[in-house]
Amino acid sequence: MESTQIAANNPALKSWIEIPTGSDFPIQNLPFGIIESGSLSKRAAVRIGDFVLDLKTLYVLGYLENLAFGPEDFDNPFLNSLMKKGKKATRDLRNRISKLLSTENSDLKNNEHHVAQVLIPIDKVQMCMPVQIGDYTDFYSSREHATNVGTMFRDPANALLPNWLWIPVGYHGRASSVIISGEPIHRPKGQIKPNPEENPIFAPCRNLDFELETAFITFDGKPLGDSISTEEAEDYIFGMCLFNDWSARDIQTWEYVPLGPFLAKNFASSLSPWIVTLDALQPFKVDGPDQDPAVLSYLEFQGQKSYDINLEVIIQTQSGEENIVSRSNFKHMYWNMAQQLAHHTVNGCNVRCGDLMGSGTISGPTEDSYGSMLELAWKGTKPLMMKDGSERRFILDNDTVIMKGFSEKNGIRIGFGEVSTKVLPAK
């Protein structure tokens, strides 16, 4: 469905709720998340400006009637029950919320007693993991990132492996260690091999890295044995969030042959709390990179499947100073989400409601747009200088890595907020 047909995307919409200038969360966004506070159990909510809209209370007060949802869909510690209703139902819900918050509608606005019950300042709630993740897949879909890594560790003339331009490479990750923004991690431990001429040792990771990614969350897919086409794929995607897929580079270097990353990746992956619906991102569709050689038939697609999403990575040192180390964009990704989901299911693999699909590290074409410290500091040979005079080859203990993202067009900014994680010393 085209963006012009989604009522909540209308750029002319204004809300009776005051939205700060430059906010990630205007009325055209309305991302979904899970909140709780001292007086509220975990429940579904929508973000607008500096407020959250309590959907459970909104439902109880009768504002969400004649939709596909019941009380259990909002009075729930995860969004899965809500997402189980599918694309049309969640679109109808977002459109209804948009109507209630619009200056053109006074049903909620004029009932101050109800407004006081359903609208809560963001600083009065705690954000929780939005989705109960069943399975997690991480892709490797940035040509620039794959080329940089191949150049560093293999032959620059053959940086891309032979299959890379033919398939959206991916691997199955660990869902249990996906954590919410704000939750700190401890430096992981494992086997590393500092000296190629000596045996490996067991030690804390020395080359801890972030990976700048986005992720998409799926609705229920098709039954086992069936596949989802590129044409259908976006109907099975609920929304997107920011994703920091941490990586222990020195552990990975030793362990990844022959089966790929294991301890180097399964210790933590950090997720932003607000799921921006794919509907809200429709106005920001753009053409993706040219794909040469021509893809196989099941990976062919029509129209625009890439999205113009500005991304930023910040290292906050222990002193509290913030250092912007990367500015990139999701539109650089060689393989798009429709192709990733089509490839994931072409063999009959079934995806389920709440599955998480990581984009893979998002690196752009310039040195300041690389999506990992491995690239930004070029395997440690070009350390980054921080404002406090220290330097970074990789992430140090007590550093906090913050990622932000937003799309902007015609004066409308649709943002993701941030994903922030502090690194604590190894246990």
Known catalytic residues are: 145
Neighbour tally for 281: CB within 10 Å: 22
Token pair belonging to 27: 């009325």
Beta strands 201-204 and 237-244 are: unpaired
Three-state DSSP state, 52: strand
Rounded CA separation 155/150 (Å): 7
Give the torsion sign (CA, 278, 281, 287, 291). negative
Query: What residues contact residue 411 under an 8 Å CB cut-off, 6+ apart?
Result: 11
Query: What residues contact residue 110 under an 8 Å CB cut-off, 6+ apart?
Result: none
Q: Is the peptide bond between 196 and the residue preceding it cis, with omega within 30 degrees of 0? A: no
Amino acid at residue number 175: A
Identify the DSSP state of 134. Answer: S
Q: H or E element: which one contains 240?
A: strand 237-244
Nearest to 178 by CA among 235, 120, 132, 210: 132
Beta strands 412-424 and 185-186 are: parallel
Query: Which residues, listed in sequence order, are joined to residue 396 by a DSSP beta bridge?
Result: none
Position of tokens 């089509």? 342
DSSP 307-333: E--EEEEEEEPTTS-EEEEEEEEGGG-
Identify the DSSP state of 211. Answer: B
Nearest to 273 by CA among 45, 59, 26, 72: 45
- The answer to whether 359 and 214 have CB atoms below 8 angstroms apart is yes
- The answer to whether 142 and 333 have CB atoms below 8 angstroms apart is yes
Neighbour tally for 163: CB within 10 Å: 8
